Amino acid sequence: MNDLELDALLDTCVAFHGHLCMGQVLGVKLALQGLALAAPATPRDLIVVVENDRCIADAIQTVTGTRLGRRTLKLKDYGRMAATFINTTTLRAFRVHTAYTGTCDPHDEAAVRAVLHLPDDQVVAWQEVKTHLKPEEMPGKPSRVVECCTCGERVFDGKDTVTAAGPICSACSLGSYYTLA
């Protein structure tokens, strides 16, 4: 990819994300390296597991075309600048993470953009990995739908705990991020 194409791709990510930042630059670099390694024949042959819910997630989603709602983008929030790219046809997976140790003024757009044009091995590192996604985590129709015996809401794809009383959703069994007002 030439410099103009790379800059245009970053501009697309920035438009989606809302501002230019180092996370956008690093996300573009991670995504391009992950796509090159996983080599999916079509976008439907790719699942990406992003390891944080920050700026890189938007860049990776934009570059790869993966989507949370299509179950091709997964979030395992470890707080790390990394993502795993899984070719669902070949079952090969590559974890790509940042290796950039440089610093630059985050308000200096030219300096931030310059990182985009550094050689890949100065910005990202990668290794082939084996993934442990369950069949119910794969794209497609829900493999199982149950009703929580506590709250009555529907729970998809094995995200419940099976108890003697019946299936219980994670919010009821482990606690929720919200309380009723």
pLDDT digits (tens, 9 = 90+) for 127-176: 999 999 988 899 989 989 999 999 999 999 999 999 999 999 999 999 99
- pLDDT at position 1 is 87
R_g of the chain, CA atoms, integer Å: 19
CATH number 3.30.1330.130 is the correct assignment for the domain at 3-134: yes
Domain ranges of the chain: 3-134, 141-174
Inter-helix orientation angle 22-38/3-17, to 10°: 120
pLDDT digits (tens, 9 = 90+) for 7-51: 999 999 999 999 999 999 999 999 999 999 999 999 899 999 999
178 with 157: CB under 8 angstroms? no
Residues 176 and 100: their CA atoms lie apart, in Å, by 37
What is 141-174's CATH number? Answer: 3.30.60
- Percent of the chain exceeding pLDDT 70 equals 100
Q: Is 169 exposed, middle or buried (0-12, 13-18, 19+ CB in 10 A)?
A: buried
- pLDDT at position 79 is 96
Six token digits for residue 92: 């090969």
Q: Label the pairing between strands 93-98 and 124-129.
A: antiparallel
Mean pLDDT of the chain: 95
| pTM of this structure | 0.91
What letters, b where the CB count within 10 A reaches 16 and e where it falls short, cover 12-47? ebbeebeebbbbbbbbbbbbbbbbebbebeeeeebb
pLDDT digits (tens, 9 = 90+) for 98-108: 999 888 898 99
